[in-house]
A and B are shown apart, each in its own frame.
Chain A
Amino acid sequence: MSRIPKEPTKLVTVPSPNKIPERDIDKSPILECQHLGIDFGGLSAVKDFNMAIGRTEIAGLIGPNGAGKTTVFNLLTKVYQPTRGTILLDGVDTHNMNTVQVNKAGIARTFQNIRLFNNLTVEDNVKLGLHNHIGYGMWSGIFRLPSYWREEKVAHERAMELLSIFDMGYLAKYKAGSLPYGAQRKLEIVRALATNPSLLLLDEPAAGMNPSETAELMENIVKIRDTFGIAILLIEHDMSLVMGICEGIAVLNFGQIIAKGTPDEIKNDPVVIEAYLGKKKEA
């Protein structure tokens, strides 16, 4: 296997070394975006977006409000069809796939504004994540054939196992909509994990969490990566989280990547500082 080719990015001023972590260096990337772009009418919301993510990497996507971060997630999961460019998931072009097929191919996500199945129980929410891994059909369900009982039992055990990642097993019987905010965020992550993804997209997982909850979340994200051996791409405004756990970071501004690199490089990159804080007045 060859090394990940360095992406041609126009605006990168700091030549960043490979941002793929060492352990993934000799493997092909799980996700590769090439010249990805989308226009809404005359507005290019995302332009020439290039990115590669290693198989077990925790990567961060940051940028000021309205930079197009969530749009990138929506492109990756085909909520929007990209106007230009290619998305390769584990080397497979997702060009003709829709949201459902992309999920089956291995991308799972959470949402910035939580989207749970509010009227269903916590356990059912996780079982819905397991949906495509439960092996019985409609008729077995209606006539309660042996496969129904067997598969439902397996699904129940698996759901409880997944909930135990966040110690949420005791909440299994409650309605998802009745959970406190932090628990809902965690449940979304569990539901996404249940679909058995190879790439997990987290859209502001720490939003609305207090510092101790955020610290716990950071530990859990790393734990998830280590347990499941998957890649995680996250959008986050909480810099302690991003700088704490991300191995590679891309900074987006006005729909374009303006910098890529390790947390230390990003922290000191003048282009990034300018994007966030504005330009220093000439003395």
Chain B
Amino acid sequence: MKKITSKTWRKTSQIFFFLLFFLTVLQATYPFEPWLPPELFLWFDPLVALAVQIAGRFFAPVFLLSLVFILFPMIFGRAFCGWICPFGTVIDATDRLISQKKIGDFRKVRPIKTFLLVIFLMLALFGVQYSWTMDPLPILWRSLGVFVLSFGFLIVDTILNGFVSVGIFPNVVMGIQDSLSGYLFPVDMPDFENLAIPVLLFFTILGLSRIARRFWCRTLCPLGALQGIISKIGLFRRKVDSEKCTACGLCRKKCKMDAIEPDFIKTEKSECVMCLSCKEVCPTNAISFGFDSPEKRQTSVDLSRRSFIGAGATALVGAGLFAMSKPDPNRTSEAIRPPGTVIEPEFLKRCIRCEECVRICATSGGCLQMSLLETGMMGIWTPVAKFRSGHCEFNCNLCGQICPTKAIQPLELKEKQEIRMGTAIFIQDRCIPYRLNDNCIVCEEHCPVSPKAIRVDEKEIFDPISGQKRIVRLPYIDPELCIGCGICEEKCPLEGKAGICVVREGEERIQV
């Protein structure tokens, strides 16, 4: 019987956690009947927990889950990176496609990740939460949830549509499409905006394997840095029997994290991800892994005092720049936030750009999009409602249900149906009844509140074009009833800009 190697165990674990992660992404869809919360991995992410709670100065019990990966490295070192992290798995899986399996010597740049970690935590102290730019788990959620899945959907749908149009079992194929849309995406392909930079970022990270294996994990990942710092006191570690070791150097060649010192005996604990490859490759079985009292020899501190101060200063300057450069979004922006969003300054401290809300909205009303600069430098990729591409479904409160940091608060359906995202206003220079003296009322037809917030006033109007008087139903808005759901703006039959649009006037945000 073939022996089950440690490599098999590790790969099984990696695949298991990746699939688990992927399942949490798939769960974020209408109809929302999750048996795994989509936020699961993000709740377990200590970098999310630290950055969001420090910046936002609040405590959420659910983030206690992240303590698991504060305690875990105290015992098992960076095994999270080698055995669990789904992004690490994606990097391992793709590096055979793009890398030359180089290890290289990047010891000099290795502390960058710690430097970044310190900057993100310092920024959080100053009230700026920016760790989402490099935290691997939100990056992976965003990438899979928004564009990897939709790209897959696009390919599958295009092929199936092809079958339908040339008449190859069209009814069977349409049935397949209908059942697929039950748990992937809505019936028609959603449109996502501003995907270019996130897509580029994702593939750049994967492409870093071209420089060296696990280059991202070794030099840049702030979550890896956090795991690494704690790993220094880890109990489980690599041990070498120096009597058996022939100093052949195979282990060091094999180590994709470059964690083995040139003497082949000592290990950089903050780098070793416990993949156990060195143990397998050792011809004399000199290497073992096990529990031990902390090594007597102090491993070198990653970050010098000078770098630490440098990181702090960078963060201070960064926070200052952010504070100065952000245009006051509460005054200048017309961007509409999802229903139940907390007040803007607090929202920016909480939103980690996982885009869970954007994905689940795409399977429902489809109004939420990733912003670019609509809400200022600080608001890049935050969710904003763009009503020409979708509307906020009256019976939907899913964005607030799945926000992992409660940047969008969970609302009861009844509450959500009453909270105001903004107010619709008519643009009379565009609106058909006002401009062409013709009846339209598509907006009135779709208005979901009862009694309707859009009503009509019948007036006899002289139409100068035809030279006739006629009765025209002129629509108007009752701002007391309008909740700014934007279905009027979406369904307005005008091409291009609608004759009605939702503005931030009257917007209701949640104070925290």
Bound together: no
B interface list, Cβ under 8 A from A = none
A interface list, Cβ under 8 A from B = none
